């Protein structure tokens, strides 16, 4: 599948087939693609934690879901509508947890660099015939939970985002792509 095909057909999957494991070799390719992202001053500000442990992912997902529901109660109705066991990782059999180093020469650029790293991972996911959804809720509401369970040294790195990865559940149709909004591009030479 071409990069253009991936960009135009990709959808955020929120219901994974938990019975189908993601091969470790596929995850290695995804992580390697993520690590090849460009970064300001080649600072490579990211660190990627990978989990394929269903028990760990379920436990952390439910803990983050509980604290998220206090600020965003709609998460529980989403869980019910999707028929997933938890509405953070959506029953994904693998999750990438991406952090940002704090000892950077160009820290102002690091958030953009993390986005580039994430996009490389997403493109690799779809190239391999898998699906994913970037989930920022753990960073918004459950950062302490993630830091604790991943044993992140918060003096040295900051948890940024998760990327649940797997195969789409066969009965899940997913969201439709939104129409492009008028005025989002301004051509200066016309």
User: Which tokens sit at 134?
Assistant: 């970037």
Contact 112, 171 (CB under 8 A): no
Query: Cα 23 from chain centroid?
Result: 18
Give percent above pLDDT 90 in the chain: 81
Question: Would you state the pLDDT for residue 83?
Answer: 94
Region 83-92 average pLDDT: 96
Task: Name 121's Cβ contacts closer than 8 Å, sequence gap at least 6.
Answer: 30, 31, 33, 34, 96, 132, 163
**Separation CA 165–CA 24 (nearest Å):** 12
Token pair for residue 133? 């959804």
Banded pLDDT at 182 (limits 50, 70, 90): confident
Strands in 94-101's sheet, in edge-to-edge order, are 46-51, 94-101, 157-166, 131-132
What domains sit in the chain, N to C, each tagged with a CATH number? 3-166 (3.40.109.10)
DSSP E strand boundaries for 31-156: 46-51, 94-101, 131-132
pLDDT tens profile 141-159: 999 999 999 999 999 999 9
């Amino acid at each position: 599948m071409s990069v253009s095909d991936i960009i135009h057909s990709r959808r955020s999957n929120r219901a994974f087939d938990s019975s189908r494991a993601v091969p470790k070799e596929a995850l290695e390719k995804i992580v390697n693609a993520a690590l090849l992202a460009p970064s300001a001053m080649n600072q490579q500000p990211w660190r990627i934690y990978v989990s394929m442990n269903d028990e760990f992912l379920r436990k952390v997902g439910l803990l983050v879901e509980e604290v998220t529901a206090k600020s965003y109660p709609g998460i529980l109705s989403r869980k019910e509508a999707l028929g997933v066991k938890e509405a953070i990782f959506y029953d994904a059999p693998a999750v990438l947890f991406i952090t940002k180093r704090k000892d950077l020469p160009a820290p102002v650029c690091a958030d953009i660099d993390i986005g580039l790293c994430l996009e490389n991972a997403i493109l690799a996911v779809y190239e391999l015939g898998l699906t994913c959804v970037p989930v920022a809720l753990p960073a918004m509401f459950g950062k302490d939970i993630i830091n604790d369970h991943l044993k992140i040294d918060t003096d040295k790195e900051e948890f940024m985002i998760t990327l649940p990865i797997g195969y789409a559940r066969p009965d899940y149709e997913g969201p439709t792509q939104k129409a492009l909004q008028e005025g989002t591009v301004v051509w200066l030479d016309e």
